Each structure stands twice: as C-alpha cells, then as structure tokens.
Amino acid sequence: MTEPSPRAYVPFVSVDAMMALVHRIGLAEMLTGIANYIEADFLRWEEFDKTPRVAAHSPDGVIELMPTSDGQLYGFKYVNGHPKNVKNGMQTVMAFGLLAHVDTGAPVLFTEMTLLTALRTAAMSALAARHLARPDARVMAMIGNGAQAEFQALAFGAICGIEEVRLFDIDPAATAKVARNLACSELRVVRCRSAEDAIEGAQIITTCTADKANATVLTDNLVGAGVHINAVGGDCPGKTELHRDILERAQIFVEYPPQTRIEGEIQQLDPDHPVTELWQVMAGESTGRRDELAITLFDSVGFAIEDFAALRYINDQVQASGTTQKLDLLADPDDPRDLFGMLQRAAPAQAA
C-alpha cells in the first residue's frame, strides 16, 4: 500500500512573526536590507512583467492588487487605503502578499504586509533620496504624522544620514505620537506649528497625508532651491498634495509612469510632461539631480516591484531563521488527479 504523501504547507509570516523578525534583525538594518533588495531589482527592471495595479475605487477608499514576475518568481500584494478607518479604530492601510514559483505555481511564502508595506515604503523613499537629494542633506521636514511617519524618519536616518526631523500635522496628537515614538532614536525631533515652520532649514521635505482629496499641503512659495521633495501621500486619482506650480519647477522622478500619471502628483500635469524613471537613474542611464540648486521630486505611489523585492527579502530572512508557521492553504490529495477522493476520505465517520 502506498503511504500518503506529506501534506504541503505554505510558509506563513504572521504579524507577530513579522514584529519578532524586525526586533531580531534590527529596524535600521531591516530598512537598509529592504532598500538594497529594491535597488537590486530596479537594476534588472526590464526582466519584470509590469502593469499598473488593479484598483477598485469607492468614495471611501481603494482596494488594490499589485502583481509582478521576473520569470522565476511571481509576487502580488493585496492592499487597501481607507482614510476614514482611523475614526473606527482600524488601520488606513492593511495588506498581505504572496510569493510563488512561476514553473509550478506553488506558493513560496504568504505573509502579512501591513507592517512590511510601511517598511518598504520608507525604504523606497530613502533609497530615492539617496540618489536624488543633496549629499549634505541632514534635516527633513515630515508633513503628515500618521502611521508612516516614524518609518520614514528612521529610514532617512539609516539610509541618508538625516539627523533632524521637523514634524507637522494638522492634528497635534499625531505629532505628539511621532515625537514620543522617536524619543529613543538618535534623531533630533522638533515639533512645529505649521508646514512653513517645519520646512525652515530642511533640505528634504516629505509629505505623507491620507485624505482622499486634492489638497495643497505644499505651496510653491514654501519650496526653495536645492530641496528634495518626497511626495508619499498622493496615491490615487483625485488625490494630490502639491501645488501644480511646484511640479512645473521640479525635476520629477517616478517609479512606473503609466501608474503614476493616474495616481500621483503628476496627474495634475499634461500627459506628455517629461518625467524620469528612477530605475534609469540607479542604472546610470539618466541624470538625477542636475545641480545643488535643482528641486528634485520623487512622486512616489508605490509599485509592485518594490513589494516583490520586500517579499524576496523576507523570504530569505525566514529561510535562514525558520520562523514561519505552516499554513494549511492548499488542497494536496495523495493522487493529484483525485481531489474528490480526498474530500470523501475527510467525511466524518457514520455513527453505528
């Protein structure tokens, strides 16, 4: 008699396991590691399948699927963005993701990605700034002090050498939260009463607000020569943070233009307005910052290759540490052609 084959389980990283992984590796090292994986994948940009994410928009938010493949591995992320969730005690952004073998379709890893998205978004922001901001930048203004703010600040400290973060949010409680959470970091944290106050002396400006609306978080008169702007918050049609005049003055860098023109700050501009793809700067195919007086803008909306890189990073870490759980996600009959037989054998025994 043939022995049943072992059950096929999918390695799963829970929220608790992800938090334990961050503390075991160290937050700064993890942010740097994810940034390195993203850069490595951006340097092989042309190997990837690329498509704008599949989005279902509603008046309250958006639900998105973000897929890509390099021909060997396939990855996708499910993620939402619902700003009103905070009022109900829920996260604005919730996410999970999967990595699978292309040749068999078998999942390699299934993981939470709410924390991982915060980590990869911050890592991507700082990676872009490393290529675009002035090398002597040491002060960053952080406008919008929600769930992403601490990750952004710490990533810029670890990857770009930022020493001071100047905080502003229209909700003082949000600013107090960030200041409290960063109190034990090596960053100098300054609470500011206005966006104008926060920007004073900053060489990098990060905008990261959540409202699903065309807003003017930054006006043109606030942005001086030599500044790098990290626009994180604009991520769907009808949602922007920067005045159009800023875009007209800046060198604009994006992840994937077909997606950014729909969702990013550049949705305000003509469809043929020139932008530079960031992977080309990393690969040395395009120029980044022209000079010290240039205004550079990273119009960040997030792209699937970044999530793919983050999934690869986490998979490598958990393979080394064995910290995954076994998730019973896949039907795995003894005979691949006998799915019905597996169902029959699972029937409860009949009472005598």
Instruction: For 253-271, write each residue's pLDDT tens digit.
Output: 999 999 999 989 999 999 9
pLDDT over 70, % of the chain: 95
Decide if 316 is catalytic: no
| pLDDT band at residue 319 under the 50/70/90 scheme | confident
The sign of the torsion formed by the CA atoms of 259, 260, 261, 262 equals positive
pLDDT at 6: 52
- Cβ distance 129 to 156 under 8 Å? yes
- Cβ distance 274 to 37 under 8 Å? no
Residue whose structure tokens are 């990261």: 208
The reply to whether the predicted model has a pTM over 0.95 is no
Residue 92: which residues within 8 A CB-CB, separation 6 or more? 81, 82, 83, 85, 86, 146, 147, 210
**Residue ranges per domain, the chain?**
10-115+305-330, 125-303
Token reading at 149: 């703010």
Catalytic residue among 235, 272, 307, 316: 235
Token reading at 313: 């990073």
Residue whose structure tokens are 């922007």: 240
- Cβ distance 55 to 63 under 8 Å? yes
pLDDT at 3: 44
- Count other Cβ atoms within 10 Å, centred on residue 349: 5
pLDDT at 203: 98
Query: Is a pLDDT exceeding 70 seen at residue 105?
Result: yes
CATH architecture for the domain at 10-115+305-330: 2-Layer Sandwich (3.30)
In sequence order, what E strands does the chain have? 10-13, 54-58, 61-69, 73-81, 95-101, 107-112, 139-143, 164-168, 188-191, 204-207, 214-218, 228-231, 240-242, 251-254, 276-277, 296-299, 325-327
CATH code for the part of the protein at 125-303: 3.40.50.720
Q: How does pLDDT run across 198-234, given as a tens digit for each residue?
A: 999 999 999 998 765 667 888 888 899 999 999 997 5
